[in-house]
Amino acid sequence: MSLALERVSKVVGGQEWIKDISLTLEPGSFNVLLGRTLAGKTTLMRLMAGLERPTSGAVIMNGVDVTGMPVRKRNLSMVYQQFINYPDQTVYENIASPLRLARLPKDVIDQRVRETAQMLHIEAHLERFPLELSGGQQQRTAMARALVKDADLILFDEPLVNLDYKLREEFREELRELFKAKHCIAVYATTEPNEALALGGHTAVLHEGELLQYGKTPDVYHRPKDILTAQMFSEPPINIVAGRVTESEVTFDESVHFKLNQDLSGLKPGNYQFGVRASHIGLVPHADDDLELTVRVDLAEISGSETFLHVRSEQFELILHLSGVHEYAVDQVVKVYFPTHKIYVFDSTGAVVHVPTRLGGR
């Protein structure tokens, strides 16, 4: 089963919520919709599900136009941000409900319910009621309900937002495993770039109703087609520094410049914007061609075992994503090392003109 959106738009009250999106999802693929709130993730899912009709454009399933087909006639399931279960039915009955509505024989239902419950580790709670369970278990029940019915399309609308950090990591790993054996299309909406990276598969980056880029998740991450995509798909956002390329040098400002290396030698002279990921700037040099910058600390944000170091020079600001806890005083002068071979270069319109070739990790 494949799903294609063809030039789909959705206008609500004069506002374009979805702007002319074309997207083809392959059978058996796991797709992440990445975007901030109001990017159109949920609307796009509702269009895919048939809960809403696109203002223009078509939704094609397996080559058949299903644009006007009501959701009741489609075979799909959805998991929400809230934990949605039937409150007065047990976990078992909840999971069985889609199968009962499909009028399957009792023994088949029983077998599938137990299998699915086992996959999601809730087999011990089948006789309990949803509200007697923890949030994570309630969401597992909702996921089991979505997975049990062998839907062609499964939609996850930020399902892990209301769970704690540890549970989210656990879930992500399980989800990837669960879908390896499935042939359905999974669509997963999230606001977190790191969640998209952890889930893998394909990623569609959305921004204000527009589809910026779609492709394999690592490809989109490593080769964003423009500044906006790079900014949307990085947490903390990629550092952007304006600069000039001359015959032999890259200049950020009077004092900061470096020789054009092999990677950048193809660039024509002119004004560019240079992007570098927060995790690529270090406190110690990693390569010979790293550029040493002397900057002042604005803020050292310590989050668990990581530190986000906000620094500024005369002309620009940078964020460093460091592992480990680093304490700095405000206005303290530090030296940071800017990796000149891990630079993204965007032209004045924002389109990417150079992607670093030597990439490792995030």
Partner 1 sequence: MNKVENNKAWFLVLPMLLLVAFSAIIPLMTVVNYSVQDILGSSAYFVGTEWFKDILNDSQLQQALIRQFIFSFTILAIEVPLGIGVALMMPKKGWRASLILILVTLPLLVPWNVVGTIWLIFTRTDIGLAGVGLRELGYAYNITRNDGDAWVTIVLMDVWHWTPLVALLCYSGLQAIPQAYYQAARIDRASRWAIFRYIQLPKLSNVLVIGVLLRFMHSFMIYAEPFVLTGGGPGSSTTFLSQTLTTMAIGQQDLGPSAAFSIIYFLIILAVCYCFYVAILNMGRDKNTSQPR
Contact mark string toward partner 1, 331..360, x via CB under 8 A: ------------------------------
Task: Please count the CA atoms within 13 angstroms of the CA of 310 that sit on its side-chain side.
Answer: 8
Phi first, then psi: what are they for 36, rounded to 5°? -75, 175
Nearer to partner 1, 65 or 88 (CB): 88
Nearer to partner 1, 132 or 177 (CB): 132
The reply to whether 166 sits near partner 1 by the rule CB under 8 A is: no
- Which H or E run contains 101? helix 91-101
Q: How many CB atoms lie within 10 A of CB 70?
A: 10
Among 2, 55, 80, 296, binds partner 1 (CB under 8 A): 80
The reply to whether 116 sits near partner 1 by the rule CB under 8 A is: no
Integer Cα distance of 205 and 138 in angstroms: 29
Nearer to partner 1, 157 or 290 (CB): 157
**Both structure tokens of 165:** 């950090």
Q: Smallest gap, in angstroms, from Cβ of residue 173 to partner 1?
A: 24
3-state class (DSSP) for residue 357: coil
Reduced DSSP (H G I as helix, E B as strand, rest coil) percent helix, strand, coil of the chain, to 5: 25, 35, 40
Q: Smallest gap, in angstroms, from Cβ of residue 70 to partner 1?
A: 8
Nearer to partner 1, 91 or 227 (CB): 91
CA angle (144, 156, 152) in 5-degree steps: 70
- Residues between 122 and 141 with contacts to partner 1, criterion CB under 8 A: 129-135, 138
Among 23, 84, 267, 359, binds partner 1 (CB under 8 A): 84
Owner of token pair 């670093």: 356
**Both structure tokens of 297:** 């600390």
Integer Cα distance of 130 and 127 in angstroms: 10
In the beta sheet, which residues pair with residue 16? Answer: 11
Nearest to 71 by CA among 49, 44, 43, 93: 49
- Residues between 215 and 254 with contacts to partner 1, criterion CB under 8 A: none
Nearer to partner 1, 67 or 94 (CB): 94
Nearer to partner 1, 23 or 84 (CB): 84
Nearer to partner 1, 131 or 299 (CB): 131
Integer Cα distance of 190 and 41 in angstroms: 8
Among 8, 25, 49, 240, binds partner 1 (CB under 8 A): 49
Residues in the chain, total: 362
Asked if 207 and 34 count as a contact pair (C-beta separation under 8 A), the reply is no
The reply to whether 273 sits near partner 1 by the rule CB under 8 A is: no
Among 13, 14, 37, 72, binds partner 1 (CB under 8 A): 72
- Binding piece for partner 1, criterion CB under 8 A, among 78-86, 200-208, 219-227, 306-314: 78-86
Using CB under 8 A, count the residues that bind partner 1: 28
The reply to whether 164 sits near partner 1 by the rule CB under 8 A is: no
- Binding piece for partner 1, criterion CB under 8 A, among 16-24, 71-79, 189-197, 335-343: 71-79
Phi first, then psi: what are they for 202, rounded to 5°? -105, 155
Positions touching partner 1 (CB under 8 A) are 49, 51, 71-72, 76-78, 80-82, 84, 86-89, 97-98, 101-102, 129-135, 138, 145
